[in-house]
Structure 1
Amino acid sequence: MLLIEDDKIDQLHLRSILLDAYPEIELSIAESISDAKGYLDQNRYDLIMSDYYLNEESLDYRMLNKLNSINTPVIITSGRLEYEFSKTFNKLDHITFIDKLDINNRTLQTVFTKQINGAKRQITLMHDAELLKKKVEILDLFTSGISHDLKNPLNSIIGLVDYLEKELATDEEKVEVLNIIKRSAHDINETLNTLLNYVKLDYTCETDDSITSKKHIQTIYDEVKGQFSKSVVNFNINGNALINAPQVAFDIIFKNLISNSIKYKTPNRPLDITVDIRESYNDGVTIIYSDNGLGFTEENKGDIFLAFKRLNSSKDTKGHGIGMTLVKKSIELCHATIDYESTPGVGTTFYMKFSK
């Protein structure tokens, strides 16, 4: 234990009480703030007791924050004149103030028990956080390893197919078989990337970004539309608002919604996609995304966010059945909500609400 006290009489008084209550305690005594900083830099203590007013110098915020940052229980003693002022520091973790005139074995035992239990809880939380961090690191290494081990053979297959296509360019039947192999390899690669994104999503969205919604959604649309160059799409965005959310998660939401709209459009009419952005002072930002695509039935409504569940199983439409699961998880990481309604042959509308 470290006792920080400049008054010799108070030193003797506190030392006597401490050793009487806890005979086995190892006690170090610092007589000034500079002495205390030296002790704290060189040693780790289970408990610290400090006078609030040392050598005509009160503990400043920097010293209090130093005491607070080391996650050790701290008791600040003060006279009655400083007591009311010193209570303003009670918001600091691990720190308790007691009046010098109230110090006795009973008050010390009560305060010690409270502080030590608080420190134990803090240590447990820190330990749990460290374990979680290690598990995330292991998961990252595992997913990176799996990605490497699976992507290398896929890239080799695609490379070999490209070579064989050139060698067999005059044999249309064999070239078509090679194209099927290549498309299958690309599909596996896309599914693998989606699964890896799902696994990594939680720890790539730890902080919020400031997103200008209209401009950002337009950029996402332009990127996705480039993959479906033959599709005719009327895309309109109305309104604008600033949204605080992880950009990675926000991108996943609209990439999947837009690509699904294009994949599952009605064959006999142009696809219309409308995004309405509405900002409310009290309710945050609501984004209404609607299309006039195939839609889905009421009986399938509960399945839309299930992994590997495709509501349209057409062989002509590529998909891995995890896109909307990613949307749901991304919505949660954005601290948002999502609801939807759909009518077969008419289209689907999603209602997303983002907090400010």
Structure 2
Amino acid sequence: MTAIFTRKTTAPAAQPDGASGQPYKIKLLQARWIFYLSAAVVIGSIMSFGLITFLFFDLNRQSSIFMLGMILPMTFLVIICLNFILKAMEKRISRLLFAIKEVSNGNLDVVIDTKGAEEYKEIYESFNLMVKELRITKEEMQSFVNELAHEFKTPITSISGFADYLYQTGDTIETAERMQFLKLISDQSQRLASLSQNTLLLSKLEACQIVTEKETFALGEQIKQCVILLLRPFEQKHITVDIPEDFDFDYCGNKELMEQIWINLLNNALKFTPEGGTVTVGCKKTASALEISVADTGVGMDEETQEKIFDKYYQNDTTSLTKGNGIGLSIVRRIVELCCGSIAVESQPGYGSTFTVTLPC
């Protein structure tokens, strides 16, 4: 079976047929059944032909003997042809069965060679595509688990470390320092809770294929409400939020999912805009789409960061203990994709960033 598959790794393949190591084969029919079937078909055909010629063409004795003599060679000819066809079918089905057994043994690197597949080519290609999707899903799951474990490790370590320190020092630590440590524990706990919630939300969104529970609502008013929800942290950093007065338009979609877009974009602008900065929300409506932008006067991004900003758990700012979890923009992109829209970012280091969400009307 070495010519049947091409493998992407050099690892040895699993034994295809138990401990024997023999290629996995399937026998479609036993040889005697092929002979009996062929003989029955040939004899029946010749007798039918003889009866027709006798009734309509006055078959004579010599012709009858000749036709009887043709039964044996015709039977062997049919057997040979059937055997050739069944062998070809057996070989092609064996490829598929061997590949299925490899996958069942955990080998997701197997690929069926479509060369000479003929009518089985579409089946082989569909199988290869299925195995590829399984392999990608497995890799993404492994990556997801590794990244999630890494992200959980930092806040848990912080919480555990500061809590142990407060417990061991007891009354000897000053109140101001104690309050600082308690604030760090509180921040890390909130970050851990947010990471869990956002991870679950992103997992649900990635499994979702269509948006349900659509309704027509005031999208402009929803964005204003999201700004109000974040008004306190904006005021704490003395950031001005600029929204046009005529910010009034409707949209048909899932209200809760759309709210996640604006909350995450505004939080992102809040995080990277220094004190005294400005966040501007704008909208441009056309006959076929809505373009909503969230611009800030923050630190901005280089081109390399812009290419990775929507990746799960990617964080450009790794210096702060109260940093985000790197999932917000991934959630935004997934929701926009489910709405058949698009999201783009324009940014330069030191000149802020502008995120533009385009939604079809």
Normalization by structure 2: what TM-score?
0.48
Normalization by structure 1: what TM-score?
0.49
Determine which structure has the larger strand proportion and give its number.
1
Structure number with greater CO (CA < 8 Å, separation at least 6) is 2
Greater Rg by CA: 2
